[in-house]
Amino acid sequence: MSRPHWIPLESNPEVVNKFVFGMGMKPSWQFHDVFGLDPDLLAMIPQPACALMLLFPVNEKHRQHKSDEDERLKKEEQHVSKNVYFMKQNIGNACGTIGVLHAIANNQDVLDFGTNLSPEAFLCGHLSSTDDGYLKTFLAKTKDMSAEKRAEYLETDESISDAHEASAQEGQTAAPQRDESVDLHFIAFVHKDGHIYELDGTKSFPINHGKSSSETFLKDAAKVCQSFMERDPGEMRFTIMALAKA
């Protein structure tokens, strides 16, 4: 049975913010462009920042690194906090939405939730009220599920798929076809319980990239993003967004 496919989400803060605000996250925190990883450019990001989303090219170098890393960490048995929210990716081209869910799910203690748009009114700007918004509801329903069960639940969730579909049509570039092979991939980085984690739904588990704190998270996450770029120095198709205080 072939897996479902969504239209890819564009790496565009305006598009992503409209998506998360429409699903119930209040705009006290927003996604922002990261224009570079040196200290001066990182200083331009509003503070504090609680998550980074990296869009990068998937090629043979990435696949080999992913395979080697998976084998190594299965032997080393890395520490992963039980409080990390992680979900697998079953849906083709859904990495943008899964990255957003990872960023938000692991920062619910600082984010605000409330009024959201209904999927039908998503592009029209008509507000409809729910208690906490649909994102909060989705995360509450999937809180105690395994990473695999969360992925299965997302496959059947029409509200998020409708909102994703609307957002994917909102980008500055023409949206690819639903079943088109896209060689770009979103992942998220978050701080949880004193460590920085890479969350990629196509990997076997979260990747612990070492100690961090809420104060040093942005600098620490930037170093990990830099390591992705250094593995593929001839490639220019990297973009980063930060989830930070508005």
Measuring CA to CA, how many Å separate 192 from each of 2, 130, 169? 35, 28, 33
Name the residue ranges covered by the structural domains of the chain.
13-245
The tens-digit pLDDT sequence of the chain (246 residues) is 567 889 888 899 999 999 999 899 999 999 999 999 999 999 999 999 999 999 999 999 999 999 999 999 999 889 999 999 999 999 999 999 999 999 999 999 999 998 654 444 444 443 444 467 889 999 999 999 999 999 999 999 988 988 888 888 775 555 455 555 668 999 999 999 999 999 999 999 999 999 999 999 999 999 999 999 999 888 888 999 999 998
CATH annotation of 13-245: 3.40.532.10
Measuring CA to CA, how many Å separate 47 from each of 33, 35, 122, 138, 210? 13, 15, 29, 27, 22
- Which residues are tagged catalytic? 95, 185
